[in-house]
Chains A and B, each alone.
Chain A
Amino acid sequence: MQFWKELIKGLWEENPIFRLVLGMCPTLAVTTSLENSLGMGIAATFVLVCSNAVISAIRNFIPSKVRIPCFIVVIATFVTIVDLVMAGFAPALHANLGLFIPLIVVNCIILGRAEAFASKHSILLSIADGIGMGLGFTLSLCILGTCREILGAGTLTIWQGLPQITIGGFQPMVLMILAPGGFIALGCLLALMNHVQAETAKRKGKIIPSPIHLDCHHCTICKWGE
């Protein structure tokens, strides 16, 4: 039961991109097309699940003073393994994703989940958290990637080899697949998500919940801080 709860919370309630706003660097860098977003999401999910499981398994062994270096070593090890195995046995996939794999080490979602979840929970729950967060990350990346690719390039490629869909009828805005377009698309989607959340909460007569694990109480800029 709790396994299921931890699994689905990453999709909406604690969505890493739209709710926790973590891992912005890879998010903005790779979402220029749906294909890249999907690849990054899958690779990051794999590393997240593995690192969560291992960190949870050794959590009682690591002294809290050196936990961050230990987490980084575990994460970097998995990233390197993924990189090497993929280069050797799935060269086509590696050609697609090669660029993004080293980026996963510095993806703060993975370190964030190690610190906030895996170091405090059992292996099974940590795996559930990893899968949920990974899927939430992948889904958000794909939404962002789809918007940016359609608006910026006028095409939609799901995966290399599959037919590319061309969306015609307008002049593609190249800006959308450049860095500024990433910020614009992310900002608009964040605003949309907050609006949807606020409306649903209002209809149910509840106050808008702040993301769990996020300390909002010292800040008074937005309504969560009250």
Chain B
Amino acid sequence: MKEMLRLVLTVTIICTFAGALLAGVDALTKDRIAEVKQLKQLNAIQDVLPSCDNHPDVNICKINHGGRSWCFYVARKSGNFVGAAVETTSSAGYGGDISLMLGVTAENKTQAIAILGQKETPGLGANIETDNFKAKFADKALETTHWAVTKDGGDIDQITAATISSRAVTKAVKKAIDVYLANLQTIQETGK
């Protein structure tokens, strides 16, 4: 009985110390981590948008479409709509979800994409992060482009040996474009 008490007490003391230490470190780093996260998202938004003079990360248009909420970051230059960025995901990746940021321009063309998160196979699917592949989504007409990989009869060249990952990215982009086109008016009016 006495020994058991000693065991329990030791583990409790060590865990208490560890918990207190972690709480302290968390309190010290929490704000910094949030800041870094926000900066990262802002960078991703700016990477895919044409040049603007407002703050697209606060000029947000929330849209409910197809059972989920979409968040469009709207960019303006001297008051005029120049483009919008939207985060989109696809669960059809080889290693789980692929999330990316898509930017479109006022001329109804894509501007660029930025991959935010992916767990694809290194050396194969992970090549969706290369500039070479991302460039295939730049400067394409939203309505007339057939958003599918060449293997499925579309206009996007897939990466050799990484069709599934390429297809997932294309799907995510297409989903976002559909939502954008369906809500064009609302998005372009935001922050006017």
Q: A interface vs B, CB < 8 Å?
A: 32-33, 58, 61-63, 65-66, 69-70, 73-74, 76-77, 80-81, 84-85, 87-89, 91, 152-153, 172, 174, 177-178
Contact = CB atoms under 8 A, between A and B. Distances in A.
A35 to B, nearest CB: 11
A212 B26 CA distance: 40
B142 to A, nearest CB: 31
Nearest to A92: B36
A152 B123 contact: yes
B7, B21, B28, B122 — which one has the most chain A CB atoms within 10 A of its CB? B122
25 contacts: A58-B14, A61-B10, A63-B6, A66-B7, A66-B10, A73-B11, A73-B14, A73-B15, A77-B21, A77-B22, A81-B25, A84-B25, A84-B26, A84-B29, A84-B33, A87-B32, A87-B36, A88-B28, A88-B29, A88-B33, A152-B123, A153-B123, A174-B124, A174-B161, A178-B124
Contact of B36 (A32, A33, A61, A91): A91
A59 B123 CA distance: 45
Contacts of B122: 32-33, 177
Contacts of A77: 18, 21-22
A58 B40 CA distance: 41
Interface centre among A81, A88, A178 (most CB of B within 10 A): A88
A61 B10 CA distance: 8
Interface residues of B, number: 23
Contacts of A70: 10-11, 14
Contacts of A174: 123-124, 161
Given A32-B122, A87-B36, A88-B36, 8 more contacts: A65-B7, A66-B7, A66-B10, A76-B18, A80-B25, A84-B29, A91-B40, A153-B123
Nearest to B26: A84
B121 interface: yes
Interface of B: 3, 6-7, 10-11, 14-15, 18, 21-22, 25-26, 28-29, 32-33, 36, 40, 121-124, 161
What is the interface of chain A mostly: helix, strand, loop, or mixed? helix
B7 A74 contact: no
A91 B36 CA distance: 7
Contacts of B32: 87-89
Contacts of A89: 29, 32
A81 B24 CA distance: 10
Given A66-B11, A70-B11, A77-B18, A85 B25 contact: yes
Nearest to B39: A91
B26 to A, nearest CB: 6
A152 B127 CA distance: 14
B88 to A, nearest CB: 21
A93 to B, nearest CB: 12
A63 B22 contact: no
4 cross-chain pairs, A with B, having the tightest CB-CB distances, nearest first: A88-B32, A88-B29, A77-B18, A177-B123
